[in-house]
A and B are shown apart, each in its own frame.
Chain A
Amino acid sequence: MVEALFWPALLGYGEAALAYASARTSRAATWGVRMGWLAQTALLVAQAARADGFPWSTWAGSLNLFVWLVVGAYLIWGCRPRFRLLGLAVMPLAAALFVVARIGGGTGAGKSSSYGNVFLAVHVGFVLAAFAGFTLAAALAGFYLWEERRLKRRAADILRLRLPPLASLERLTWRTILVSLPLLTLGLVAGIVRQKERGGAIDALEAVTMLTWLVYGVFLALRPTGRRAAYLALGGFALVIVARLALAGSHFG
């Protein structure tokens, strides 16, 4: 029953992913994002209500939560008609990851976890929220590079196939990372405190996450501009991908 909420959420995200393809249907796409996100929120609430402990402690469950955070961040930062192409990048990815989360069993109910709720809410919640922010920042940085290239090459369709201005993309990338890094810091601190209590060595995922923190820390400290800023944001995101996809299985359990 709870799992049935997966379908309206996927329908919303899928509709948005398709509708963003055309400027004429971008309004419908935005509604798809909103409706899908509300349905996924309901799914998460239902999962939380029926779970014994933290319901997203598996890699698939955390992916479900991650998708919700990414779409949530997109709704806050970029869900505007002018940012249609950003939606075209974010929503298919969100829909695909959501399907992967379901295949991995992350959208079902009645999960149990040996972890304490408070610790996981702080650690997993903050780390995933930060990763969601970095994902959005990477999408913005990617668009920056594309738009800059089109301007450099003097593409004739630059005003027809219109992205947000370079300055807006740069500013939004910066702000997204500015919000996301403190979240990652809090999540990491929670994880380190818990690890000290329980003992054990740092695993590969933790090491990569710390490296990610360092890269984004350098980004905020140096405040690069233009292409350099975009490359650095994308470099940090490459580490997020490694942490989320390649090493996630080694950390959960």
Chain B
Amino acid sequence: MTLTLVGLSHHVAPVELRERVTLRLDAAAELARSLGDAVCLSTCNRTEVYATGLDEHAALAALERLAGESLDGVVYRLQEDAAALHLFRVAAGLDSLVPGEGEILGQVRAAYESVEPGPVLDRVFRQALGVGKRVRTETAIGESPASVSSAAAALAAQVFGDLAGRRVMLVGAGRIGELAAANLASRGAEIAFVANRTVETARELAHRFGGEALTLDGIATRLGEVDVVVASTSASGSVVHAADVPAKRRAPLFFIDIAVPRDLDPAIGRLDGCFLYDIDDLEAVVAETLAGRRAEAERAEQFVAEEAERYRAWRASLDVVPAIASLRARAEEIRSAELAKVNGRVSDDERRTLESVTAQILNKLLHLPTVRMKEAAVGSEGAVYADAVRHLFGLEEEAGA
């Protein structure tokens, strides 16, 4: 029942290869079932097969069929403790492109729940989900934004708190601006206006967000109606000037300038109640938060190491469990045989007393050897102790007979 992992990830495989072996959840589950006792974890950054009692070549062959080429030099193969440790790091987000990203934990859970794994896989995946959850709740690894667009939304939230009901103007229909708008919208903000040089493009994007399309000339008249402005045009000069910002406002105005050259007049940042962040500021914020994530990742690695140690101890205990079970069965067999000899010669009460006393003697006698064997298993001597017990009590001969 050896735990085996065969897989590839963003660390070793380029996107052209990864996209060929990426599977939807149902297809991944089907692949896992075709391999026996297996779980297939497939995301945009990794495709990994965890299996027990499997020839790793079978898993590799399955992945190579998907890739349509040999995966030598790209695929990694891990076994037992190393495979478990890898899974724990994956679930904790420590093996992700952005340390601490939270989506992977849900993907690990989905992969685990899509099949019916055997006891070893069940145990290792439950531990992985546990350590992933612990890392997310006991460290701040996933609290800070890891991209420019999510940093922009987090900064807006730092000004306004809850973004529900806050109105956003998107200036330019560029991809990064759209991502920032999507991030703001995911926090409850309303994309009220989309302004663009080409009004058709603005209309298309505004329709997607449920906002109103504007030309660039219409920006100044609508600035008083919004709380956040996200600018990302390819214009060569400023699109919004300090003079365009309404002087009398009760609420702050938050400006995000993702464009290069900048779209927003830097003088806006000096206005009372206005906050302006350009691309350099956002990147500095992201770099700082990523540094924070890395610091938290060190704590997370400790949790993962503890979990790996627990898994190792559990696996080691499996070496001695059959020997312990055989020993107890043998002892019970002897006890029953000896009790059978006095049947009919003692009263019911006396028989019950005898049964109770002999059961207690048996338990007390076997308690210490059982504990010692389990301790030896944790210390990697389990197999030696198990062999010794089998030999001393003749358990092998019995099994052979």
A→B interface (CB under 8 Å): 23, 147, 151-152, 154, 156-160, 162, 164-168, 225-227
B145: which A residues are within 8 A, CB to CB?
A: 159
- What are 24 A-B residue pairs whose CB atoms fall within 8 Å in the complex? A151-B158, A151-B159, A151-B275, A152-B275, A154-B269, A154-B277, A154-B281, A156-B284, A157-B288, A158-B155, A158-B158, A159-B144, A159-B155, A159-B158, A159-B285, A159-B288, A160-B144, A160-B288, A165-B159, A166-B161, A167-B160, A167-B161, A167-B162, A226-B273
Distance from A23 Cβ to chain B, minimum over Cβ atoms (Å): 6
The A-contacting residues of B in range 241-267, CB under 8 angstroms, are 250-252
B316 within 8 A of A: no
B317 within 8 A of A: no
B158: which A residues are within 8 A, CB to CB?
A: 147, 151, 158-159, 162, 165-166
Task: Provide the bound-state CA to CA distance between A158 and B154, in Å.
Answer: 10
A156:B285 contact, CB within 8 angstroms: yes
A227: which B residues are within 8 A, CB to CB?
A: 272
Task: Provide the bound-state CA to CA distance between A152 and B251, in Å.
Answer: 15
Query: Given A154-B281, A157-B288, A226-B273, are A168 and B155 also a contact pair (CB < 8 Å)?
Result: no
Task: Provide the bound-state CA to CA distance between A238 and B290, in Å.
Answer: 40
Contacts between the two chains (Cβ within 8 Å), count? 60
Task: Provide the bound-state CA to CA distance between A167 and B253, in Å.
Answer: 12
Q: Which of A160, A164, A168, A225 contacts B251 (CB 8 A)?
A: A225
A158: which B residues are within 8 A, CB to CB?
A: 155, 158, 285
A147: which B residues are within 8 A, CB to CB?
A: 158
Distance from A107 Cβ to chain B, minimum over Cβ atoms (Å): 38
Sample of 14 further A-B pairs with CB below 8 A, known A23-B140, A151-B275, A160-B288? A151-B155, A152-B269, A154-B281, A154-B285, A156-B288, A158-B285, A159-B145, A160-B291, A165-B157, A166-B161, A166-B252, A167-B161, A225-B250, A226-B273
B289 within 8 A of A: yes
B292: which A residues are within 8 A, CB to CB?
A: 160
Q: Which of A23, A156, A168, A225 contacts B287 (CB 8 A)?
A: A156
Distance from B157 Cβ to chain A, minimum over Cβ atoms (Å): 6
Q: Which of B161, B269, B277 contacts A168 (CB 8 A)?
A: B161
A164: which B residues are within 8 A, CB to CB?
A: 161
Distance from A75 Cβ to chain B, minimum over Cβ atoms (Å): 21
Task: Provide the bound-state CA to CA distance between A165 and B287, in Å.
Answer: 21
B151 within 8 A of A: yes
Distance from A83 Cβ to chain B, minimum over Cβ atoms (Å): 13
Task: Provide the bound-state CA to CA distance between A156 and B278, in Å.
Answer: 12
Closest to A151 in B: B275
Distance from B41 Cβ to chain A, minimum over Cβ atoms (Å): 30
A166:B159 contact, CB within 8 angstroms: yes
Q: Which of A157, A167, A225 contacts B159 (CB 8 A)?
A: A167
B161:A165 contact, CB within 8 angstroms: yes
| Residue in B154, B157, B161, B275 with the greatest tally of chain A CB atoms within 10 Å | B161
Distance from A113 Cβ to chain B, minimum over Cβ atoms (Å): 46
Task: Provide the bound-state CA to CA distance between A236 and B276, in Å.
Answer: 31
Closest to B250 in A: A225
A167: which B residues are within 8 A, CB to CB?
A: 159-162
A151: which B residues are within 8 A, CB to CB?
A: 155, 158-159, 275
A166: which B residues are within 8 A, CB to CB?
A: 158-161, 252
Closest to B138 in A: A24
Q: Which of A23, A157, A159, A226 contacts B252 (CB 8 A)?
A: A226
Q: Which of A159, A225, A226 contacts B151 (CB 8 A)?
A: A159
Which 3 A-B residue pairings sit nearest by Cβ, starting from the closest? Answer: A165-B161, A156-B284, A167-B161
A159:B154 contact, CB within 8 angstroms: yes
Task: Provide the bound-state CA to CA distance between A24 and B277, in Å.
Answer: 30
Distance from B255 Cβ to chain A, minimum over Cβ atoms (Å): 11
A23: which B residues are within 8 A, CB to CB?
A: 140
B154: which A residues are within 8 A, CB to CB?
A: 159
Closest to B270 in A: A152
Distance from A219 Cβ to chain B, minimum over Cβ atoms (Å): 15
Task: Provide the bound-state CA to CA distance between A162 and B140, in Å.
Answer: 12
Query: Given A151-B158, A167-B160, A226-B272, are A160 and B289 also a contact pair (CB < 8 Å)?
Result: yes
Task: Provide the bound-state CA to CA distance between A162 and B285, in Å.
Answer: 12
B250: which A residues are within 8 A, CB to CB?
A: 225
Distance from A170 Cβ to chain B, minimum over Cβ atoms (Å): 9
Task: Provide the bound-state CA to CA distance between A225 and B145, in Å.
Answer: 29
Closest to B284 in A: A156
Distance from B226 Cβ to chain A, minimum over Cβ atoms (Å): 16
A159:B159 contact, CB within 8 angstroms: no
Task: Provide the bound-state CA to CA distance between A227 and B151, in Å.
Answer: 25
Q: What does the 1/0 interface line of B146-157 toward A look like (CB < 8 Å)?
A: 000001001101
Distance from B396 Cβ to chain A, minimum over Cβ atoms (Å): 53
Task: Provide the bound-state CA to CA distance between A147 and B281, in Å.
Answer: 16
Task: Provide the bound-state CA to CA distance between A154 and B285, in Å.
Answer: 8
Task: Provide the bound-state CA to CA distance between A73 and B123, in Å.
Answer: 48
Task: Provide the bound-state CA to CA distance between A228 and B236, in Å.
Answer: 37
B144: which A residues are within 8 A, CB to CB?
A: 159-160
Closest to B281 in A: A154
Task: Provide the bound-state CA to CA distance between A137 and B154, in Å.
Answer: 25
Closest to B283 in A: A156
Closest to A223 in B: B250
Task: Provide the bound-state CA to CA distance between A159 and B158, in Å.
Answer: 8
Task: Provide the bound-state CA to CA distance between A167 and B273, in Å.
Answer: 12
Task: Provide the bound-state CA to CA distance between A227 and B159, in Å.
Answer: 13
